[in-house]
Amino acid sequence: MNRSFVARNPSVLIFLALLALFTLGVTVLSEGFGVGMISTSFVKTLGKTLCLCLVAVAMDLIWGFAGILSLGHFAFFGLGGYMIGMWLMYERTRLIVVDALAQGSMPPTPQEVVDGIGNQIFGVVGSSEFPLVWAFADSLVLQLALVVAVPGLLALVFGWLAFRSRVTGVYLSILTQAMTLALALYLFQNDSGLRGNNGLSGLQNLPNVTASQDVVSMWFFWGSALALGSGYLLAAWVVSGKFGSVIRGIRDNEARVRFLGYSVEAYKLALFTLTACIAGIAGALYYPQAGIINPAEIAPIASIYLAVWVAIGGRGRLYGAVIGAAVVSLLSTWFTGGQAPDIPLGFYTVKWVDWWLVLLGLSFVGVTLFAPQGIGGLVDLISDRLRPDRHGADLGPDQGSLREKEAHK
Amino acid sequence: MIRVIAATLALLLTSFSVSAQDTTGAIQQVLQEHSAAILKSSRMTIGPAIDAVADSGLEQAQAVLQAWSDKNMWVREADGLFFRATEAEGGYSLTDFDTGEVVGVFDKDALDQIKPNSGIRALIGTALVQFQLKDPDPLRRQEALTSISRAPDPALLKPLRNSIEMETDPTLRAQKLRQERLLTIGYDADSDARVQAMADMSGDLSVDVRAALNPLVATRRAVVQGDVPEGTNVARILTPGSDALPRVEAYDMLVAADLAQPRVTNAAMRAALEANIADGRVGGVSVQQLGSDAVRRAAYIALADAGTVPPFISEETVQETLDGFTFYDAYADPSRQITDAANDALNAIKLKVGLNQAADLTLDALSLASIYFLAAIGLAITFGVMGVINMAHGEFIMMGAYTGYVVQQIVPNHTLSIIVAIPLAFAVTFAAGVAMERLVIRWLYNRPLETLLATFGISIALQQLAKNIFGTQARPLTAPAWLDGALTLNDVVSISYIRIAIFFLALFFLAVFLFIMKRTRLGLETRAVTQNPRMAASMGINPGRVNMLTFGLGSGIAGVAGVAIGLFAKVTSEMGSDYIVQSFMTVVVGGVGNIWGTLAGATMIGFLQKGIEWGNPSNTLAAQTYMIIFIIIFIQFRPRGIIALKGRAAGD
């Protein structure tokens, strides 16, 4: 049993190799560093997709491996984006304000600079005072720490409250959904201190960077690829060891694991917090590429889509989450972007902008019913790793570990 | 000199009117006496003329005033007599005010129209009120009362009092008495009468009573050196630096009253320094060093010492200056007796208004609770009893509402269309629910989390489908006319009839639910299948059929709820998602598997939301946020809801 980590997880090596190859390919084809076959906006789309893959990996950890269907992970994703967005916006506005004040007859006082920044940032919500949450916005290091700390802390507090009182299953799902709804509603107010429904904007411009967006977009692409690679490695390491066995045990039968003497709540809480931190990092990389973040991003529907990606990709396998997020989000972009050709039926023309969501919803039902293993299940066909025959009743990943006579159906 | 001319003029006029007396009627005489003022038509001098006509006691007075106000009074240039004129062939036909006889038709050139401006017309209007108050036509009397309440005037008090005695209509009499009290509060010369009137009206909730009382207790903020002058009716003395009067505000008051030097603001300081830069230096400091407040202040003080700019006001100076003054709020009314009585009356009203607002809030909360209950009752069946998470529940509500909309397009009569829509909505969503149960949910009974996801897939598909069919804009679902309006108990407490209808609809469905679950075979079988499907199956119950029907029932009720919700909210493809999280919250907070729990949950959430909104009225978003946080914490203490199932019924 003392084989190396890589030997036990060959998929990690394959995944990292493919990711490196993909990154290299995009670099060579990009406008900033290569022959220019891929436009900068598409590089941004690919970079954003990598971030979505990372948050999908986090979702797979908590849902596919621990069986906790969190419908609130996009709240952590968005919080990460807000944290980095605050610094980006503050710093860029500061440079503009300092420049403008330098034109004056005398050097500005520190208070004048801060007032100027406040006016610029909060003018849209009719205020000029800096709220308390912006206390560290002038420091990149502190805001970067907050990218991990704020989602982590929220997850810790929420998870502690929820797991302690043994809220499980669908109840927990609804509770996490309520959490993200509460957060979104809170941020929608103008006096939340984060510019209400205007959100934070202009995030694609890095302060003190004069390089063109062609180049900057590649930096973010590499950053996202690196984050996805590291996140994947971390997730693979977490689920491969004893910790992984325990959380899989919790997924399959929580009571048994508890009776075996494990502190189920501590394991769940640790994993919940870890995934929230990963989601925060993914968000911090995503929103500078998107350029804008507003509270609509963390509405409950976003987190449900996250679950959709993971389910379509295949839960309980990390590459499944990546495949699901990449395929569905890119397809969504393609269909809703108006690029997909319309289908004329004679009496009615199917416009994909209108019908894509219907197709997605129905295909989602189809996947849940007929292919609980998701797209990742196709890998099993190749690798010959077939599940035991259930005589027709596929119980999905969580009850799949039950012995046949234990299963209800 | 001027006086002499005026006296001569007056004498001339008098003699003229005396000479006219023989040939003219009584009202013409009055008009002639004030002919100068009437012809001058100035608001400042017209008062006595109007009063003279109004108080003449002649029966034509009202007609004259009316004609005057309507710009129908003309003067004949030849002899200066006043007539009512109507346009006729060849000029204007003149009517004598006294006799009512037509004098003849005159050319326009021989006449002059009296054109009272709006100010004068308002004065005439006031004078007319006393006639209108005694008008035989009750409608006119009502109009007069309305005009009094719109524009209360001290002059109206006397005519109003005089008119009460002759009033025969009990409603109008009551209104007159009430209006008389209000005018007494504001304008009676006798303080005791005013205090008495306030005491009489102190229990009244109407806005007009408060409108009459509030000006009496309005205060004006003032500042004085030393002590407050004698005879001032002081409401309170203010200390600068307290919450009511921050120091900055207090100092600004002194500045505004020219009692102190204005404080030098940062911007002013900056401007002054900028203006005095010479050779890159100002106030003995190099411009490059001006990047801090302390340096700027030092440079400014140097400038001030040199006398180039106004002196710098330090915090100590501000404090010293403030110490020498007394700040106070004073009532406009000098009588302590009046202001105290007004305050007492207002406090009494405030208490009563507060109590009534609490009642109104309770009604609002009850109505919100019934809406939540209605939205959640279908879920109480599918989720509460069967344990199936149906994320498309909100879309069933939407389908019901759209069914109502479509029915209204076909059946134009609103009452009839609602009667048709309710069973039709039930049928449509029942069918949809049965189809969904048969096609999707029954394969997933062992995998609850996946039920959640699959039904969510159906939810987004249905939502988009509705968008494709009905468009994105909101569709109206109009309530029948007899549900319009509100049940108004008094000026504070009111509730719209639609909300009352929804309340009773919720009660009705509670009864239906209880009847089906406790008294019918389906209910019995449902309870059996939920508790132990295998045991139930071995007793001869077909679990598939029972599940199908139960799920259809829950979905059908959601559809009916959709019609009800559509009546007061807008029908959009997204209306379902507005209710879905709250509905689940209602069921979870109340306790799964128990209809009374759902009722308790809906009541709690409704009252909670209204309570939070009341505490923070400007911000309903924050109210929802706090409510959800409260629910998350509540679940900590009662993870199984308010009414938790015990024993075997609890399932595990």
The model's pLDDT over B573-587, given as tens digits with 9 standing for 90+, comes to 888 887 887 888 888
Query: What is the pLDDT, as a whole number, of residue B21?
Result: 44
Q: What is the mean pLDDT of residues B538-564?
A: 91
Average pLDDT over chain B, rounded to an integer: 82
Least confident of A59-68, A161-170, B617-626: B617-626
Contact B296, B269 (CB under 8 A): yes
Contact A156, A164 (CB under 8 A): no
Q: How far does A6 lie from chain B, in Å, by closest CA?
A: 32
Contact A306, A73 (CB under 8 A): yes
Cα(A119)–Cα(A93) distance, integer angstroms: 10
Work out the pLDDT band at B4, boundaries 50, 70, 90: low
Q: How far does B450 lie from chain A, in Å, by closest CA?
A: 7
For chain B positions 567-586, those within 8 Å of chain A (CB to CB) are: 577, 581, 584-585
- Looking at beta carbons, which residues of chain A come within 8 Å of B444? 368-369
- Cβ–Cβ gap A407/B446 under 8 Å: yes
The contacts of residue B497 (CB under 8 Å, 6+ apart) are B482, B483, B484, B485, B486, B487
- Picking from B291, B446, B636, the nearest residue to A165 by CB comes out as B636
Query: What is the pLDDT, as a whole number, of residue B15?
Result: 46
Domain extent listing, chain B: 2-122, 134-217, 219-336, 354-650
Query: What is the pLDDT, as a whole number, of residue A409?
Result: 44
Query: What is the pLDDT, as a whole number, of residue A142?
Result: 93
Which among A61, A45, A2 is positioned nearest to A243, based on CA atoms?
A: A61
- Picking from B289, B453, B619, the nearest residue to A311 by CB comes out as B453
Q: How far does A326 lie from chain B, in Å, by closest CA?
A: 19
Cα(A171)–Cα(A180) distance, integer angstroms: 14
Cα(A77)–Cα(A62) distance, integer angstroms: 14
CATH: 1.10.10, 3.40.210, 1.10.3470, 2.60.40. Which one for B354-650? 1.10.3470
Q: Tell me whether strands A200-201 and B111-113 are parallel, antiparallel or unpaired.
A: unpaired
Q: Which element (helix H / strand E) includes B548? A: helix B543-568
Work out the pLDDT band at B205, boundaries 50, 70, 90: confident
Cα(A4)–Cα(A284) distance, integer angstroms: 33
pLDDT single digits (tens) A172-184: 888 898 899 889 9
Query: What is the pLDDT, as a whole number, of residue B24?
Result: 67
The contacts of residue A226 (CB under 8 Å, 6+ apart) are none
Contact A306, A177 (CB under 8 A): no
Query: What is the pLDDT, as a whole number, of residue A258?
Result: 92
Q: What is the mean pLDDT of residues A398-406?
A: 52
Cα(A288)–Cα(A51) distance, integer angstroms: 11
Does position A402 have pLDDT exceeding 60, yes or no? no
Contact of B588 with chain A, judged by CB distance below 8 Å, is answered with: yes
- Picking from B274, B462, B577, the nearest residue to A106 by CB comes out as B274
pLDDT single digits (tens) A365-377: 888 888 777 888 7
Does position A126 have pLDDT exceeding 60, yes or no? yes
Closest-CA residue of chain A to B444: A369
For chain B positions 384-443, those within 8 Å of chain A (CB to CB) are: 389, 440, 443
Which among A61, A19, A400, A36 is positioned nearest to A240, based on CA atoms?
A: A61
- Looking at beta carbons, which residues of chain A come within 8 Å of B454? 364-365, 368-369
Query: What is the pLDDT, as a whole number, of residue B19?
Result: 44
Query: What is the pLDDT, as a whole number, of residue A274?
Result: 96
- Looking at beta carbons, which residues of chain A come within 8 Å of B446? 395, 399, 407-409
Query: What is the pLDDT, as a whole number, of residue A342?
Result: 79
- Picking from A164, A300, A368, the nearest residue to B581 by CB comes out as A300
Query: What is the pLDDT, as a whole number, of residue B310?
Result: 82
Cα(B495)–Cα(B477) distance, integer angstroms: 20
- Looking at beta carbons, which residues of chain B come within 8 Å of A399? 446-447
Q: Which element (helix H / strand E) includes A12? A: helix A10-29
Better pLDDT: B46 or A239: A239
Cα(B300)–Cα(B283) distance, integer angstroms: 6
The conformation of residue B648, written as its DSSP 8-state character, comes to G
Cα(A256)–Cα(A249) distance, integer angstroms: 8
pLDDT single digits (tens) B87-126: 777 778 888 877 777 777 877 777 878 778 877 877 777 7
Cα A243 from chain centre: 23
Query: What is the pLDDT, as a whole number, of residue B538?
Result: 92
Q: Which residue has the tokens 């802390």?
A: A153
Does position A4 have pLDDT exceeding 80, yes or no? no
Query: What is the pLDDT, as a whole number, of residue A266?
Result: 95
Does position B216 have pLDDT exceeding 50, yes or no? yes
Contact B186, B212 (CB under 8 A): yes
Cα(B89)–Cα(B57) distance, integer angstroms: 35
Does position B652 have pLDDT exceeding 70, yes or no? no
Which among A169, A146, A149, A168 is positioned nearest to A157, based on CA atoms?
A: A149
Work out the pLDDT band at A1, boundaries 50, 70, 90: very low
Least confident of A25-29, A170-174, B521-525: A170-174
Highest mean pLDDT among A391-400, B66-75, B336-345, B430-439: B430-439
Better pLDDT: B477 or B230: B477
Q: What is the mean pLDDT of residues B459-479?
A: 89
- Cβ–Cβ gap B450/A179 under 8 Å: no
- Picking from B445, B446, B454, the nearest residue to A365 by CB comes out as B454
ipTM of this complex prediction, to 2 decimal places: 0.83
Neighbours of B445 (CB within 10 A): 16
Does position B536 have pLDDT exceeding 70, yes or no? yes
